[in-house]
Amino acid sequence: MTTYVTANPATGAIEQEFPELTDGEVEGVLARSHGAFDDWRATATADRAAILVRVADAYEERSDELATLIAREMGKPVAQAAGEIKLSAMIYRWYAEHGPDLLAEEVLDPQGAQESVVETVPVGSIIGVMPWNFPYYQVARFVAPNLMVGNTIVLKHAPICAASAAVMEEIFHAAGVPTDAYINVYATNDQIATMIADPRVQGISLTGSERAGAAVAEIAGRNLKKAVLELGGSDPLIVLDEDIAKVAKSAAKARLGNCGQACNSPKRMIVPTDKVDEFVATVVSVFEASQPGDPTSSDTRLGPLSSVTARDKVVSQVAKAVEQGATLHTGGDAVEGDGAYMRPAVLTGVTKDMEAYSEEIFGPVAVVYGVDSVDEAVTLANDTSFGLSGSVWGADTDRAQEIADRLDVGMAYVNEHGTTLPGLPFGGVKRSGFGRELGRWGMGEFVNTRLRRTAASRG
C-alpha cells in the first residue's frame, strides 16, 4: 500500500494516490542520475542560469494553481501559499543572477608559484529529502544552488506532497533541466538509505525531524558522505522595553503563520514579568480572532494542520502541559467535524520539569515566559537543545543587538523574526542541524573547492 497519498486536511478526504518506487527501480534511478552528471556539469553556466530564470517564470505564471495544490495537500491558506511561491521564484532568480559570479575562479596570492587558483566545481548526484510544511520553498533552497553548480538531483518529497512534487518535476523539465538531471522519486525510507550508501551518490540534504536527521546522518557518516541537515527548532523571542502590545501582535501573527508549522516560528516568547499579563492578553486576542477556515479561500489566514495525526499530537502536547501544571489561556482543543483543525493555544507557567519546556510544539501554540532580567531571558532562551533562530525586540537597537549576539542560534534577529531571503544564510546549531542553505553559503555545501596551482617557470 502506498504512503504517497493526498488526504485533504480540510476535509479528511483522500483525493489522490501515487505508486511508490519499487525496489527494482532504485538501481535505474541511481544509474540515470549518475549518468546525467557529465553532460549537465558541461552545460554552460549561462545556460543553467537561463533555465533557472524559466523555472522562476513558471512559478509566477502558475502561482494560483500551485497555491491551490498545496492548500489541498497540506492545508496552507492560499494567500500564504502565494507568498511561498513568490519567495521560491525569487530564490531561483537569485541563483540565476548571482550563480555565475559565485562559480567564477578565485585567484589567490600565488605564494611562489606562477598561479594559484581556486575552482568551484560540482561533485555529482545529490539526494534531497524534503518536508511538507513549505513544499516549494524547501525544494528551492536545495535545488536552485545545486542545479546552478552542475550537480544532478534525486528528490524525495514528503508523502503528503506527492502532487506538488510531480508538478515541480514537470516545471524543471519544461524549463530545460534534462530528465535525468532532476528525478522525483516516491521512495521509501529504506530505499533512500540504499541510495545514500551507493558510491554514485555524493551527498544528502534533509529538512525534517531530529529522528530523520539522526538516521540520515548515521548512514551518511558510515559511508563518508557530506550531509546538510535542517531540523527542528524552539525559537525564543525576547521582549525588552519595546511597545508590548505592538510586539505581542507581531509575535502572535508570526506564530500563527502556516498554522504554527514552521521550524523557525517564535515558539517561546520571553517577556518582562511585569508585562506578561498585557502581552498574554494581546496574544490571546489575536489568537481568538483567528478562526480556522477553508485553506482554499482567499480570506482564510489560519487553515488546518497538515493532518489529523499532526493536529492530535499538538492537542495532546497542550493537554499534557496543562496536566503537568501549566495555565491554558485559550484554545488548545480540536475543532469538531471533518478536517485537522484546532483552536490556537496560549500557555504560561511552563516549567523545566514539564515536557512542553524542552520539546518542539509544531502547531499554533504560544508559550509565554516571564523573566526578571535580561540575563535570565538569555539563559532561558539558550536553555534548549535546539539552536535554529531567535529574536530580540527593543527600542534601543544597539542594546538589542548586544543581547542577540548572546543567543546560541544560527540566525539572530533584532525587531523581526524568521526573515528568510535568497541571499541570507539559513541554518542552525545544536540539534537544529548543520550546514547552510541560501546565499553564497548554499552554493558552497555540495561542491569541490579545488585548488589549481601552476609552478613558477624554471627558465
Would residue 270 count as lying in a domain? yes
Indicate if 240 and 223 belong to the same structural domain.
Answer: no
- Give me the pLDDT at residue 459, please: 60
Could you please report the per-residue DSSP string of 131-147? -SSSTTHHHHHHHHHHH
Q: Give which of 373, 310, 383 is closest to 351, Cα–Cα.
A: 383
- Give me the pLDDT at residue 2, please: 85
- Give me the pLDDT at residue 457, please: 80
- Domain with residue 367: its CATH number is 3.40.309.10
Indicate if 223 and 243 belong to the same structural domain.
Answer: no
Domain with 135, as residue range(s), is 5-231+432-454
- Give me the pLDDT at residue 111, please: 95
Indicate if 220 and 309 belong to the same structural domain.
Answer: no
Contacts of 117 (CB under 8 A, 6+ apart): 105, 106, 107, 108, 451, 452, 453
- Domain with residue 122: its CATH number is 3.40.605.10
Would residue 426 count as lying in a domain? no
- Give me the pLDDT at residue 47, please: 98
Would residue 399 count as lying in a domain? yes
- Give me the pLDDT at residue 241, please: 81
Indicate if 291 and 398 belong to the same structural domain.
Answer: yes
Indicate if 249 and 284 belong to the same structural domain.
Answer: yes
Indicate if 303 and 264 belong to the same structural domain.
Answer: yes
Indicate if 277 and 210 belong to the same structural domain.
Answer: no
Indicate if 324 and 403 belong to the same structural domain.
Answer: yes
Indicate if 111 and 192 belong to the same structural domain.
Answer: yes
Indicate if 279 and 379 belong to the same structural domain.
Answer: yes
| Catalytically annotated residue among 263, 360, 437, 445 | 263
Q: What does the alpha-carbon distance between residue 179 and residue 173 come to, in Å, rounded to a whole number?
A: 6
Indicate if 227 and 239 belong to the same structural domain.
Answer: no
- Give me the pLDDT at residue 97, please: 98
Q: Is-catalytic flag, 288?
A: no
Indicate if 172 and 307 belong to the same structural domain.
Answer: no
pLDDT along the chain (459 residues), means of 10: 92 96 98 98 98 98 98 98 98 98 96 96 98 98 98 98 98 98 98 98 96 96 97 97 92 98 98 97 98 94 97 98 98 96 98 97 98 98 98 96 98 97 98 97 97 87
Whole-structure pTM value: 0.97
- Give me the pLDDT at residue 162, please: 98
Burial (0-12, 13-18, 19+ Cβ within 10 Å), 373: exposed
Q: Rounded to the nearest 5°, which phi and psi values hold at 324? A: -85, 0
Q: How confident is the model over 24-67, as pLDDT tens digits?
A: 999 999 999 999 999 999 999 999 999 999 999 999 999 999 99
Q: Is-catalytic flag, 230?
A: yes
Q: Give which of 220, 50, 42 is closest to 126, Cα–Cα.
A: 220
Number of structural domains the chain divides into: 2
Would residue 310 count as lying in a domain? yes
**Measured distance between the N- and C-terminal CA atoms of the chain, rounded to whole angstroms:** 72
With contact defined as beta carbons under 8 Å apart, do 182 and 40 qualify? no
| Catalytically annotated residue among 20, 230, 242, 437 | 230
3-state secondary structure of 287: helix
With contact defined as beta carbons under 8 Å apart, do 397 and 202 qualify? no
With contact defined as beta carbons under 8 Å apart, do 66 and 60 qualify? no
- Give me the pLDDT at residue 242, please: 74
